[in-house]
Structure formats: C-alpha cells, structure tokens
C-alpha cells in the first residue's frame, strides 16, 4: 500500500507455485481493486494444461485491507481449454462484487476439443458480500478477442465498456449498462467504423462522476491512429462527439479519470522518432482541451505494457508504468491534481 510515508510491506495474494503457475502477458494482467476502504478484490491468470493461450481466471477478496484473502474462485464455470481474461471488477449496490471478462469457450466443440474458431464473448458474474457466486450471463456474444474491458459505477448503476466485433469486422467501442438488475444490449460510444481483420489489443477506459461518464479509446480508422474521448451526461445512454486528444502518432493504451475541477484527465502513449512518451491531457465536457503533459518516456514495444493512473483521495494523481529493460520494473510517480 502507498501512503504519505511511502510503500508499506508487500503482502502475498497468490503464489505462482499454485496449480500450473501464472499466465503472464503484456496486455492481460493481474490487478487489485479497492472497492471499499477495507474491501479489496484481486484477480490473476493461471495457465491451463495445454499451455499457450489456454488460461483461466482466479479471483480472491480481502475484507481487512489486504492482510488476509479468501480462497481463490474461478468465475467461469466451463472446462474448456481456452482463453479467459481481460477482467474488470466493480462494486454492486448490495456490497457484492461484479466481474466481467472475455471468454473464448465458444471456440471449442461440445466435447471440449478444438473446433472451428468461434467468437470471443463478454461474460458477467456477481459475488455476494460473502463471496458466493451468482449465475453466469453473456453480455455480448461477439467481441474483440484481446482488448481490455473497463467498468465504472454511475449514479444509475454499473457500466461496462469494451471493443465490439461485428460480422463485418467493425471493431468500435461499445457500452452496456445495468438497469433494474439487467444488462442492456451493447451500444456504440461512437461510430468510428473501424474495420480491422484482427484484434488491435487496445481496450477502452471509463470513469464516472454521478451520471457523468467519460470514455477514452483508441481507433485506427482511415489509417489514422487516434486517442479519443467522449462524454455522457445521462449515465451512458447518449454520448457527445468524439474529441481527439493525441498529437498525431498515438499508440493508444489509454486510461481516464475525473478531476475535482470538472475536467477529465486522459492518458495515452504517443510514438516519437526514437522513443515513446506517456502523456496526459485535461479535457472538459464542453470540448476544451488542455496542453499535453509528459509523465515519462518509454518504449513503443509491447513490453512497456499499459500505463495506469488513479486518484489517491488526498488531492493527488498516481501514475504507474513498466520500465523496459532488465526484466521490467514497475515505476510510480505522484503529482497534485492541478498537475503542478
């Protein structure tokens, strides 16, 4: 845990000696979410018997701030030797936890053997406050194969954003909302119309403040690589026009959050002649944009990963990224919310 005094002692959530070891990937990575002051939910990925991209999800909860953890739970009930990952976690109204993930079980036949490749699906499952799982459900039967999902809690309820995949290979960003306990059919945040025959490995990010939402995403429509945001004032029912935030050579890998001054802070990776840069910029719902600010230089290669940021609740923004080289290390920086 990071506080004003620095980092506290490391606490073990899971060990790679369990089962078949961790599945470690540059884009599909483990994470811990603080859903309430003492409620932490962690997920990680475990290799399957076939190796390669046969892997599953494990989830554990802590109700004492990370000191102790529940036994790992597998949220997906199938036994297929396929991909299960790109998890998002969020708090439910009853104090339970919502989980969404990408699930490739439809790529095998009924006997569990490899069959004709089927579509990746977006699936959901809840855990009650005691960690007891509910039923699985499908939120979208055909989504992009390896773009991250994200979730937020609006005043109207949970929302999930993801990259959809149409039969014609249009891969735009969609949103689904929980309304009266049911998930709505996914709708586009913005109709980019990006047709691409393979996954760009570049998922969206969402942040909520009441019923105001901001979604950030990457698109390569028209062979122009762009990082964009769009705002909603009604919990994601409608969105305004897309606002471009990059400098013209975006690699995407976006994140976004709200600041106290009413702006959204969006982060993305920009390609430069010999390096890449992690940049942030303030954007307002009325379309105003601030100057881009450099967080750090990095590599454009995959091993630089996906930078992340959060507000720490004490008037600061915390940035985290992977430093390339020597096996890779996680670096962290903090700044005040006025970005000074």
| Domain range list for the chain | 1-143, 144-340
- The residue with tokens 């992009």 is 144
The whole-number pLDDT of residue 231 equals: 99
Listed range (25-39, 78-92, 112-126) with the worst mean pLDDT = 112-126
Is residue 166 a contact partner of residue 186, using CB atoms and an 8 Å limit?
Answer: no
pLDDT at residue 106 is higher than 80: yes
Dihedral pair phi/psi, residue 184, rounded to 5°:
-75, 160
Rounded to 10 degrees, the C-alpha dihedral 61/63/65/69 comes to -40
pLDDT reading at 39 higher than 70: yes
144 Cβ neighbours under 8 A, 6+ residues apart:
120, 162, 163, 164, 165, 171, 199, 200
Which CATH number is 1-143's, of 3.40.470.10, 3.30.365.10, 2.120.10.10, 3.40.50.410? 2.120.10.10
pLDDT, position 117? 60
Q: DSSP H helical segments within 142-216, as ranges?
A: none
Q: Which residues contact 327 (CB under 8 A, 6 or more apart)?
A: none
Chain centroid to CA 222: 25
Total residue count of the chain as it appears in this document: 340
| 8-state DSSP, 326 | T
pLDDT at 111 over 90: no
Find, among 290, 307, 308, 289, the residue nearest to 298 by Cα: 307
Strands of the 264-271 sheet, one edge to the other: 250-258, 264-271, 276-283, 293-298
Q: Does domain 144-340 have CATH number 3.40.50.620?
A: no
CB-based contact 204:162 (threshold 8 Å): yes
């Amino acid at each position: 845990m990071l506080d004003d005094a620095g980092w506290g002692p490391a606490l073990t959530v899971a060990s790679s000696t369990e089962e078949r070891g961790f599945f470690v990937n540059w884009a599909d990575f483990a994470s811990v979410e603080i859903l309430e002051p003492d409620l932490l939910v962690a997920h990680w990925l475990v290799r399957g018997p076939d190796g390669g991209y046969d892997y599953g999800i494990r989830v554990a909860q802590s109700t004492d701030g990370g000191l102790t953890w529940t036994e790992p739970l597998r949220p997906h009930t199938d036994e297929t030797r396929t991909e299960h990952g790109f998890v998002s976690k969020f708090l439910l109204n009853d104090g339970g936890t919502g989980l969404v993930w990408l699930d490739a079980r439809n790529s095998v036949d009924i006997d569990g053997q490899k069959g004709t490749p089927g579509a990746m699906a977006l699936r959901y499952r809840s855990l009650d406050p005691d960690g007891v799982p509910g039923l699985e459900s499908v939120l979208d039967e055909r989504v992009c194969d390896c773009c991250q999902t994200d979730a937020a809690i609006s005043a109207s309820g949970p929302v999930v954003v993801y990259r959809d995949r149409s039969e014609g290979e249009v891969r735009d960003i969609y949103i689904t909302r929980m309304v009266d306990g049911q998930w709505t059919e996914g709708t586009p945040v913005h109709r980019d119309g990006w047709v691409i025959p393979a996954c760009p490995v570049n998922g969206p990010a969402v942040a909520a403040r009441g019923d105001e939402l901001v979604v950030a995403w990457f698109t390569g429509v028209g062979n122009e690589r762009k990082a964009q945001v769009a705002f909603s004032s009604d919990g994601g029912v409608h969105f305004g026009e897309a606002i471009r935030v990059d400098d013209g050579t975006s690699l995407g890998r976006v994140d976004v959050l709200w600041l106290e001054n009413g702006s959204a802070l969006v982060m993305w990776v920009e390609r430069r002649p010999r390096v890449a840069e992690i940049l942030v910029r303030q954007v307002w719902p009325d379309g105003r944009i601030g100057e881009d600010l450099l967080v750090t230089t990095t590599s454009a290669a995959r091993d630089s990963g996906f930078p992340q940021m959060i507000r720490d609740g004490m008037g600061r923004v915390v940035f985290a990224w992977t430093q390339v080289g020597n096996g890779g290390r996680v670096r962290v920086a903090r700044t005040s919310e006025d970005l000074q």
